[in-house]
């Protein structure tokens, strides 16, 4: 059965998902009004069709894939389009937002009488011929979009209400990205104190799995640190402002802000992290 799926916006993840869907026979719409030349090109390569708002509102499924800070505004824009239509699309928020935010988005989409699904993406954007990241879905309508499996996406149902998929995404990212955060902070500090080699040796002996993870995670993190700032604020919000652990994630936001500025500047810390990951810490006797 042919399906029309709208994806907003055509960013790195959104266009990679679009490519997977269109290569598997789906019709994929997006909104290209006012977008840059680079985005238009990326959308075209991914098989996305530029469409007016009415056509997007007529899609079978709308996937919201945007930076966390933009998720709520996009939901409002979608609700305004959908409220006027008779046939309602299933709207899926796939963003790294916290449970409170996704519940507000559920209300916004509900005000347009459209079915809503809470989604969370874990993993890298799908590559041509490669594997799909995990699309976790929760809420009463989660099974309505299991059809996306026919178009190459790894859809996994989380038993639970709207919020459960976002809680999974938040807690998973809080562990995996948090480990990159503490690992990078400690590796930079140890290197500056002349203890990088000893740290590497001790981890290799007593915590080889953590060392192996850091060797992958530290270089991978550097170009993404700027995107993780908002996600760390979302995780802090997931815990709640008075939660005894929320300060940890506000701290990560500040640290990733520093690493993003470093990566965009002298890359002093970035080069220490790459050297540690590659096992070439400088001996300091």
Please tell me the distance from the alpha carbon of residue 112 to that of residue 70, in angstroms, as a whole number: 19
Owner of token pair 């170009």? 223
Question: Smaller CB distance to a second copy: residue 55 or 189?
Answer: 189
Site string (249-278) toward a second copy, x via CB under 8 A: xxxx-xx-xx--------------------
284 binds a second copy (CB under 8 A): yes
What's the min distance (Å) between Cβ of 210 and a second copy? Answer: 6
Does residue 57 contact residue 31 with C-beta atoms inside 8 Å? Answer: no
- With binding defined as CB under 8 A, does residue 212 bind a second copy? yes
Q: Binding marks (x or -) toward a second copy, 84..123, rule CB under 8 A?
A: ---------------x----------------------xx
* Nearer CB in complex with a second copy: 78/222: 222
**For the residues of 142-204, what is the DSSP string, one character each?**
GGGGGGGGGGT-EEEEPSSSTTHHHHHHHHHHHHHHHHHHHHHHHHHHHHHTT-HHHHHHHHH
Task: Give, as one character, the DSSP assignment of residue 132.
Answer: P
Question: Which residues, including other chains, have CB under 8 Å from residue 168's CB and lie 6 or more apart?
Answer: 120, 122, 136, 138, 158
Does the footprint of a second copy cover residue 9 (CB under 8 A)?
Answer: no
What 3-state class would DSSP assign to 74?
helix
- Closer residue to a second copy, CB minimum distance, 85 or 141: 141
Q: Which of 81, 183, 231, 234 binds a second copy (CB under 8 A)?
A: 183
Residue from 186, 230, 267, 275 touching a second copy (CB under 8 A): that is 186
Q: Cβ(22)–Cβ(47) under 8 Å?
A: yes
The binding track of 153-172 with respect to a second copy, each residue x by CB under 8 A or -, is -----xxxx-xxx-xx-xxx
- Determine the size of the site formed for a second copy (CB under 8 A): 65
Please report whether residue 246 would count as binding a second copy according to CB under 8 A: yes
Listed in sequence order, the residues at least 6 apart from 109 whose beta carbon sits closer than 8 Å to its beta carbon are 75, 78, 79, 82, 91, 116
Q: Does 219 bind a second copy (CB under 8 A)?
A: no
Q: Judging by DSSP bridges, how do beta strands 116-122 and 134-138 pair with one another?
A: antiparallel
Residues numbered 188 to 207 that lie near a second copy (CB under 8 A) are 189-190, 193-195, 197-199, 202-203, 205-207
For residues 12 and 42, what is the distance between their CA atoms, to the nearest angstrom?
9
Which residues sit at the interface with a second copy, rule CB under 8 A?
A: 99, 122-123, 134, 136, 158-161, 163-165, 167-168, 170-172, 174-176, 178-179, 181-183, 185-187, 189-190, 193-195, 197-199, 202-203, 205-207, 209-210, 212-214, 238-239, 243-252, 254-255, 257-258, 283-285
């Amino acid at each position: 059965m042919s399906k029309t799926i709208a994806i907003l916006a055509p960013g790195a993840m959104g266009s990679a998902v679009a490519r997977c869907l269109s290569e598997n026979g789906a019709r994929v719409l997006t909104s290209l009004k006012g977008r840059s030349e680079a985005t238009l090109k990326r959308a075209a390569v991914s098989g996305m069709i530029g469409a007016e708002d009415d056509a997007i509102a007529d899609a079978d499924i709308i996937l919201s894939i945007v930076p966390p800070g933009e998720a709520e505004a996009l939901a409002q824009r979608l609700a305004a389009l959908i409220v006027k239509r008779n046939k309602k699309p299933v709207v899926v928020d796939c963003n790294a937002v916290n449970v409170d935010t996704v519940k507000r988005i559920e209300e916004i989409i509900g005000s347009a009488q459209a079915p809503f699904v809470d989604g969370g993406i874990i993993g890298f954007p799908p590559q041509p011929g490669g594997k799909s990241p995990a699309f976790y879905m929760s809420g009463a309508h989660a099974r309505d979009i299991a059809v996306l499996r026919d178009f190459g996406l790894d859809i996994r149902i989380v038993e639970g209400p709207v919020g459960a998929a976002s809680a999974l995404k938040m807690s998973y990212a809080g562990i995996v990205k948090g480990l990159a955060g503490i690992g990078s902070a400690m590796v930079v500090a140890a290197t500056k104190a002349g203890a990088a080699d000893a740290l590497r040796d001790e981890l290799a002996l007593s915590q080889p799995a953590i060392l192996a993870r850091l060797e992958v995670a530290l270089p991978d993190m550097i170009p993404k640190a700027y995107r993780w700032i908002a996600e760390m604020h979302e995780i802090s919000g997931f815990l709640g402002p008075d939660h005894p652990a929320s300060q940890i994630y506000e701290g990560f936001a500040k640290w990733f802000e520093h690493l993003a500025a470093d990566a965009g500047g002298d890359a002093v810390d970035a080069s220490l992290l790459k050297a540690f990951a590659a096992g070439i810490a400088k001996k300091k006797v």
